[in-house]
Structure 1
């Protein structure tokens, strides 16, 4: 104990009292009442956690991963049966190529041949499937600077079937192309017809 001035005053030995009790504090119950009652059953909040709450979460995560894997792995079949899903796959960065063919290195130029202009479009057709693939004709469209179609024609593919991973060059010519043509769009004919 200390006073306001910081000096200490020793406790007088005669003022200290101590008492000990082994009974419950604040209960007016004697020992006979405590032992005669049936034991209290544990309440759920008293029990330790069993871990059962995690299994539904783990099962849900596993189901989502498996479902996503199936949706990605079977995307070509899904798009073939529900074409509208192609936009969703494209938005996710997983475009679907139902033809199994790709056009690569496409370029166009205008040349003079016999005194008249000729539009020449060249590129490659690649079979990206693991099996032999049919090659449809090509549809070429000349568009103006506003993106409007000025002229369209169909050119046969150089080969009707491609082996797995095979690449073949194509070349299409158009005599007297439109003067206001600015670009050439190349597609496979069956895909152009489906759209």
Structure 2
């Protein structure tokens, strides 16, 4: 009696007694498909006997009488190739699902981190303790909304004598206009010793959102030596 899997091309020859009159559940050894098999009549059995690529799995082992019992493995048999292809496909789909899950997780975390960094100033303004976390990852937050950048120091002589010129840019990183306080300028030498300090007019009272303003301040009769200028706001903006 021939049994043909409805899901693949695997065929099995079994004993007639393997399928009772009421039928039974069977599973294909090649693709794992389950179905309910009814017994064949003589006409159907004759038609199936004319098929090729038949595998005898029932009558070869009369000692255990298991019907779908032990079979001698043959990696070149058609059903073995089908089974291997099915297993490979299942493994590929599982690996692909895991990979897609990781990619989505990384994208979500990365997007959240980017949004947090982009809005770190607003976050720190509402939750000051988060400032240390942003500083730890190398993106310190500015809760004031304005910052001093591009500070330069140059020396020279004009009609009034030697002078030291300190310049830079006041930059807004806020979405709203900001009041700009006076600047505090401190000159230190290579050892970090303070040599001079003074207050300077920034040249602007209110800085527009995301605006910039260059400033320049002069110190007459500067101390000798290589000096570094430290420019800060005289009070929080």
Tell which deviates more after alignment, 114-123 or 148-157. 114-123
In structure 2, how many angstroms separate the alpha carbons of the residues matched to 1:112 and 1:58? 62
Deviation at 1:161, TM superposition (A): 0.6
Q: How many residues align?
A: 155
Report what 1:23 is aligned to.
58
In structure 2, how many angstroms separate the alpha carbons of the residues matched to 1:56 and 1:109? 56
Report what 1:5 is aligned to.
none
TM-score by length of 1: 0.58
In structure 1, how many angstroms separate the alpha carbons of the residues matched to 2:180 and 2:198? 17
1:139-158: CA deviations, max 9, x gaps?
A: 21111123333222222321
Higher relative contact order (CA 8 A, sep 6+): 1
Report what 1:187 is aligned to.
232
| 1:103 aligned onto 2:151 | no
Report what 1:153 is aligned to.
198
Report what 1:77 is aligned to.
122
Q: Compared with structure 1, are the counterparts of its residues 58 and 180 closer, same or farther at alpha carbon in structure 2 (3 Å cutoff)?
A: closer
Q: Secondary structure at the match of 1:158?
A: coil
In structure 2, how many angstroms separate the alpha carbons of the residues matched to 1:175 and 1:136? 23
> Unaligned 5+ residue runs, structure 1?
1-20, 36-45
Q: Secondary structure at the match of 1:147?
A: coil
1:136–1:157 Cα contact (<8 Å) kept = yes
Report what 1:169 is aligned to.
214
In structure 2, how many angstroms separate the alpha carbons of the residues matched to 1:73 and 1:168? 23
In structure 1, how many angstroms separate the alpha carbons of the residues matched to 2:223 and 2:145? 32
In structure 2, how many angstroms separate the alpha carbons of the residues matched to 1:171 and 1:86? 31
Report what 2:75 is aligned to.
none
1:118–1:174 Cα contact (<8 Å) kept = yes
In structure 2, how many angstroms separate the alpha carbons of the residues matched to 1:104 and 1:121? 12
> Equivalent residues in 2 for 1:99-138 (5 A)?
99-112=144-157, 116-138=161-183
Deviation at 1:183, TM superposition (A): 1.9
1:105-147: CA deviations, max 9, x gaps?
A: 4333334466653322223323243321221221211111233
In structure 1, how many angstroms separate the alpha carbons of the residues matched to 2:104 and 2:143? 34
TM-score by length of 2: 0.50
Q: Secondary structure at the match of 2:235?
A: helix
Q: Compared with structure 1, are the counterparts of its residues 168 and 73 closer, same or farther at alpha carbon in structure 2 (3 Å cutoff)?
A: closer
2:190–2:227 Cα contact (<8 Å) kept = yes
